[in-house]
Structure 1
Amino acid sequence: MESMSVRNLPVGQASDTPLAGEDGVHPDITARMTDWLSALPQVAAIFAFENNVINLVEGNSRFDMAFHAHSETGARNSRIINEWRERVTAFIHSGRDSDSFEIRRDGKLGPEYFLCTIGRLPAVEGRPEHYLFTAIDRTSERAIEKNLRRELLSDGLTALPNRTGFGEEIDDRLANALWPDNAQFGIIAIDLSRFSRVNESLGPMAGDELLITVAKRLKSSLRQGDVLARIGGNDFAIFARLNNGLSDALHIVQRIREALSSPIRLSDLQIRVDCAIGCALSINLDDDPDDVVRKAQAAVKIAKRSGKVEIYRNGVLKEAQRRFSIESRLRDALAQGGLTLAYQPLIHLQTGEITGFEALARWDDEELGRVSPVEFIAVAEESGLITPLGRWAAYEAAQALSRWDAKFGQALPVGVNVNLSPIQMARDDVASMFEEALRYSGVAGNRLTAELTESAIIADPDKARKLLFALKDLQMPIAMDDFGTGFSNLASLHSLPIDILKIDRSFVSSMLEDRDKVVIVRTILSLAESLNLKVTAEGIETQELAHALQKMGCWQGQGYYFAKAMSEGEAFDYWRARWNFETV
């Protein structure tokens, strides 16, 4: 058979007229409209619009079940019908080809939701405009969304709103409730004290049970319209409408205290719940609720320290923001070596010799400037940064002694005192820290003195005792700082391996003008002598004070009269200048 290329096949001109088919191939669309609508899997209908009236032309069975045969009764459903007609009429007048919207109506089993679409059908001469309407039942999807949203906005343990849900509840009440002209709202923040101890001693199940019980009791103290939320692990908050300002808030606080006054039974134990309460009041209803919540949380932090109900006052939030900035910058400073130690001389009051230095942390920050130790140490204790801060100070002090020895050519006859925070003592392995500091620097233990306060011993006497004896095993001297301001008893003082008592500056600095303080200082010196302890007096700022303490037999002193705290290099030069001898 002879082959032929397809390129050579003859091609004729195409006709613009469609090919004719057999009769019945193209159905009459108008006559079979019901069949077309019935083929659609969703609710469908065709409407006509004439003389500003919407008329149903045809609907499938799904439409009849969902809309046409549905009994639309009640004022709410009448409003929904009117709303639907307004949406359709607005679309018809808009000139757009299609539109979509959602409608909600009350069904027999609750709210029903339909996603509706409407589109224009081709115009036909001699008849009114027709529109294809479809609707998809989204009730089950909306129910799932609602449940997921409820879980997102709720606390899974107590079923109360969480922090996000609390904000939405507040916004809803501010927007939709009727508020008198003089009304304001308040936030009451509640922090459960010692909650972590319940978790540690009884386990997390007991902690959860405690939270559930507290939530129920707090809910019982609410008034109508108040909102209770769990906004943190052991933190609750209440949104309250205050028609009478602060008096309403204090009345709610009283109800809270009464609700939590009786003990809660957990397992075989009865636990009394203590809490810190802070309040913040809005100035008017336009105040940002999130800002008021932050103010209440700032107030509750103060309440945790004061033990009383605290009302937010101007400046507290700025203080909290500064503490947060200090914490953030301090974390960076510890990681990047941004802190330094300053050294204040300790002078032998009988001979004038320098017996040692007290190491004091100093911080100059690029953004914050010079930050007071009183300020950043308090933040470090609150945030947990006191552990790395204390470790850095111990290692740096020991290394400074090692550098001084290397510069002098032999071991200097001086030591360095390092302060210990009660919180560091509770959380860190302090004995191991000092052992490492001494080992890495090659310095003898008797040249590094640990200074601790009375409160550190009182907080956990057994743990403090073990620590002090561990430090004595390292040959380290131990000084009790700020002596006279705490509550230690003589029996515990006698039983602990303490070498030095440091008289607090509040007794020393104004001693010459106050006979009572002279009596206190003499008593401490007499007590120390009977216990074979040495005494250091802080806050010596005049020569008269130095001479008076010298006559009383005080062993050692420090203060601005001798020198302020100085850098490592300046401290070495200061010691070398006074090395031979100098009288007080």
Structure 2
Amino acid sequence: MTSVPGPEPVDFEALFHQAPCGYLVTDDGGRITAVNGTFLHWSGYSLPDLVGSAIQSLMPVGDQILYSTHCIPQLGIAGAVSEVAVEIICADGSRRAALLSASRSPASGQQPATVRIIIFSAHERRMYEKELVSALRNAEESEARRAEAEHELQRLALQDHLTGLPNRAGLKAKLDGFLAARRAGQGTLAALCIDLDHFKAVNDSLGHAAGDELLVAVARRLVPAAGKQATVARLSGDEFIVVDIFAGTDEATARAARLLDVLRAPMLIEGLEIVTSASIGVAVAGEDGETMDDLVRRADIAMYRAKSLGRSRWELHQPAESDPTADRLRALAELRHGISDGALRLHYQPRVDLRTGLAVGVEALVRWQHPSRGLLAPSEFIGMAEESGLVRPLGAWVLEETLRQAEDWRIEDAGGSRLEVAVNLSARQLNDPGLVPMVEHALRLRRTDPSLLVLEITETALMDDPGGALDQLMALKDLGVSLAVDDFGVGYSSLTYLKKFPIDELKIDQSFIMGLGTDTGDAAIVTSCIDLAHAVGIRAVAEGVETPGQVQVLRAMGCDYAQGYHFARPLPAPLLREWLKANSQGQRPDSSPVLS
């Protein structure tokens, strides 16, 4: 007859000393006789500090333990205690053994932790050893589940949920080994920043599910191709990074070239064959004080340079290469200070009546007096101002300063008593709900006759949102101002929309004026623009007029107004004042070269 093995003997001492929970044992008088290492680690006490001490010196005893919470600070447990609970393990009617469970908040950046402390007397151990062992095992199983859950949370926090690769935080966690190897002189540390070309087109055309499938496929290709010791991570979106120790710069760039070839091979995404490519930036670790963030940032800079040079290539970061993002932020800060500190300037270009040769208005053109680069034309900063939202305060300043200057000319009557002033509006301003109140405030502030203000909007800006643009233009017309379509002929507006807009003049783009007298095609376009303007009852204005021949042709075509270098370059207010005086007296004013 085969005997059935009995239960394994209970190893109480092993449970006690190896447990992940903190244990204290007291004698029947409440003096501590044993402490395990976990409790010493949690509490900060040493073994001699505790053995022989009364448990009362650490915490209340008896029934008080059921509702007392200040015992935890007395034990020296680090972190803020958010919960204290007591579970009865066993009782003999007068004495209790209790499991004290307390949750503590972790140190910064760590995962939540749980503190468990079990207190029992030697007497209780003898009487209820089986129950105590069961309770200790339950506590340890609970602790093991908590530790497993904590480990899973840490893993998820360091891993990209889509590809399974390390994320940015996971990359940092893996880099100690690379830094140590570099310090030990085992090779050259380099980062390869990889960004897919035209990934947005996949998302837009096939959907985000297809985009995700493509990212997973890219990750699966990168890992084996990057090298056995390399770390491949997904930083964000379609941007990946490879970090490894190389024999030198040449090996790092050769690896980049190989990764490009791997990624160029077609991939099957949702039944379609997708051919993709990537731009890769390579950065080699420099001085010992450089951080991994610095290295990754330099690889990112090189990657953007690869994109700007045509994509589907790698570029090596050069030490003198600047960070375009940092440069842009620096330029934005400079522009913001320039607006607030009075570094903007206005130059004015006259608009001439082609029948009389007399000035009928001026166009205000903003300049920026940069502290180190000198006087900058609008093309150097208007785009940046539009993207950042700085165009709103910039535009408000231009309008108010233009109206202030126009008021001065009228007071001086330097040929400018009825001079129109034209101010450009950007597409961003046209979509700004605060535009009309801003114009109304400026007109009221300077007591300007609204009919003397011309607001110029590009044809492209009008057609970005025809419905919204029409509402804004109608509200501006209600203020009494005039409206002009700038750069006409290079956009894509329809005659239907043009007829609906409350426009007062068309400004024919200078690219067509340049060919007058030599290009029959340009002549036909300019004639059509002038005829169109007159057909809908508005003025035609030619931009960029530079020669007497162009003036002669425009007059013959019946063009109303013109502006350009033939008449005057954009001039600062003092020089324009002199020009206006000479022009009002029928003289040919002198126009010295000024930044246009």
Distance 1:535 1:429 in 2: 29
1:219 is aligned to 216
- Per the TM alignment, residue 403 of structure 1 is displaced from its structure 2 partner at its CA by 2.5
Q: SS of the counterpart of 1:362? A: strand
Q: 2:335 aligns with which of 327, 330, 335?
A: 330
CA 1:325–1:470: 2 relative to 1, 3 Å: same
* Matched residue type, 1:279: S
- DSSP 3-state at the match of 2:360: strand
CA distance in structure 2 between the partners assigned to 1:381 and 1:395 by the alignment = 19
The correspondence of residues 68-147 of structure 1 with structure 2, limited to 5 A, is none
Distance 1:293 1:466, change over 3 A: farther
Are residues 1:509 and 2:535 paired? no
**How does 1:407-556 map onto structure 2 within 5 Å?**
407-408=412-413, 412-556=417-561
One-letter identity of the residue aligned with 2:394 = L
Identity over aligned residues, as a percent?
30
Cα offset for 1:509? Answer: 2.3
Which residue type is aligned with residue 545 of structure 2? I
1:238 deviates by: 0.7
Which of these residues, 190, 193, 196, is aligned with residue 187 of structure 1?
Answer: 193
Q: 5 Å matches for 1:563-574?
A: 563-574=568-579
**Contact residue 298 and residue 312 of structure 1 kept, 8 A:** no
Pair 1:544–1:303, CA change in 2 (3 A): farther
Please state whether the residue corresponding to 2:481 is helix, strand or coil.
coil
Distance 1:292 1:258 in 2: 34
Cα drift, residue 380 of structure 1: 1.0
CA 1:172–1:229 in 2, change beyond 3 Å: closer, same or farther?
Answer: farther
Are the equivalent residues in 1 in contact too, given 2:423–2:456 (CA < 8 A)? yes
The runs of 5 or more residues in structure 1 that have no matched partner are 1-36, 45-61, 63-138, 199-209, 263-274
- C-alpha distance in 1 between matches for 2:557 and 2:168: 62
1:340-351 alignment, distance < 5 Å? 340-351=345-356
In structure 2, do the counterparts of structure 1 residues 299 and 354 end up closer, same or farther at CA, with 3 Å as the change threshold? farther
| CA distance in 1 between partners of 2:262 and 2:256 (Å) | 10
2:234 alignment counterpart? 229
Q: Out of 343, 355, 360, which is 2:360 matched to?
A: 355
Task: Give the 3-state SS of the residue equivalent to 1:397 in structure 2.
Answer: helix
Counterpart amino acid of residue 533 in structure 1: I
Q: Label 1:43 to 1:468 Cα distance change in 2 as closer, same or farther (>3 A).
A: closer
Pick from 374, 377, 393 the counterpart of residue 382 of structure 2. 377
- 1:423 match: secondary structure: helix
Tell me how far apart the structure 2 counterparts of residues 216 and 459 of structure 1 sit (CA, whole Å). Answer: 34
* Number of the residue aligned with 2:241: 239
- Is the 1:481–1:502 Cα contact (8 Å) retained in structure 2? yes
Cα distance in 2, alignment partners of residues 256 and 332 from structure 1: 50
Does structure 2 retain, via aligned residues, the 8 Å contact 1:356–1:416?
A: yes
Question: 3-state DSSP class of the match of 1:282?
Answer: strand
Q: What is the number of residues matched between the two proteins?
A: 426
Secondary structure of the residue aligned to 1:347 is strand
Q: Match of 1:526, as an amino acid?
A: D
One-letter amino acid of the counterpart of residue 240, structure 2: I
Counterpart contact for 2:424–2:455, Cα < 8 Å: yes
In structure 1, C-alpha distance between the alignment counterparts of 2:271 and 2:437, rounded to whole Å: 43
- In structure 2, the partner of 1:97 is none
1:391-410, aligned counterparts within 5 Å? 391-408=396-413
How far apart are the structure 1 equivalents of 2:496 and 2:173?
A: 58
Contact 1:278 1:297 in 2 (8 A): no
SS at 1:352 equivalent: coil
SS at match of 1:541: coil
Alignment partners' CA distance in 2, 1:351 and 1:437: 31
**Where does the alignment leave 5 or more consecutive residues of structure 2 unmatched?**
1-31, 40-50, 52-142, 224-229, 244-251, 590-596
- Given that 1:190 and 1:300 are in contact with CA atoms closer than 8 Å, whether structure 2 keeps it comes out as no
Is contact 1:454–1:488 with CA below 8 Å preserved after alignment?
yes
The SS at the match of 1:559 is coil
Q: 2:391 & 2:350 partners in 1: Cα distance?
A: 24
* CA distance 1:43–1:427, change in 2 (3 Å): closer
8 Å CA contact retained: 2:253, 2:282: no
| SS state at 1:345 partner | strand
Could you tell me which amino acid in structure 2 is paired with residue 346 of structure 1?
A: R
Higher mean C-alpha deviation, range 416-425 or range 395-404: 395-404
Q: How far does residue 358 in structure 1 lie from its aligned partner after superposition?
A: 0.7
C-alpha spacing 1:294/1:494, structure 2 compared with 1 (3 Å): farther
Provide, for residues 44-78 of structure 1, a one-character-per-residue CA deviation record: whole Å limited to 9, x for no partner.
9xxxxxxxxxxxxxxxxx9xxxxxxxxxxxxxxxx
Confirm or deny: 8 A CA contact 2:191 2:242 kept in the other structure: yes
Structure 1 contact 420–450 (Cα < 8 Å) conserved? yes
Deviates more, 1:240-249 or 1:496-505: 240-249
Distance 1:193 1:217, change over 3 A: closer
Inter-partner Cα distance in structure 1 for 2:466 and 2:177: 53
Instruction: Supply the distance in 2 between the matched residues of 1:566 and 1:513 (Cα, whole angstroms).
Output: 29
For residues 87-107 of structure 1, the C-alpha deviation after alignment (integer angstroms, 9 at most, x for no partner) is xxxxxxxxxxxxxxxxxxxxx
8 Å contact kept, 2:345–2:367: yes
Distance 1:286 1:302, change over 3 A: closer
Alignment of 1:200-215 (within 5 A): none
Alpha-carbon distance in 2 for matches of 1:389, 1:575: 27
Written as runs of structure 1 = structure 2, the 5 A alignment for 1:139-178 is 163=168, 165-166=170-171
Deviation at 1:297, TM superposition (A): 5.6
- Secondary structure of the equivalent of 1:562? coil
Shift of 1:188: 2.7
Deviation string for 1:410-455 (max 9, x for gaps)? 9721111111111222244211111111111110111111111111
- CA-based RMSD of the aligned residues comes to 4.8
Deviation at 1:221, TM superposition (A): 2.7
CA distance in 2, matches of 1:245, 1:360: 51
Q: Counterparts of 2:305 and 2:534 in 1: how far apart (Å)?
A: 41
Distance 1:462 1:506 in 2: 28
Mapped partners of 1:446, 1:307: distance in 2: 49
Distance in 2, Cα, partners of 1:575 & 1:260? 69
AA aligned to 2:373 is: L
Partner residue in 2 for 1:81: none
Which deviations, in whole Å up to 9, do the C-alpha atoms of 1:256-296 show, x marking residues without a partner? Answer: 9976999xxxxxxxxxxxx9x97332165769875675467
Q: Output the TM-score relative to the length of structure 1.
A: 0.60
Other-structure match for 1:282: 282
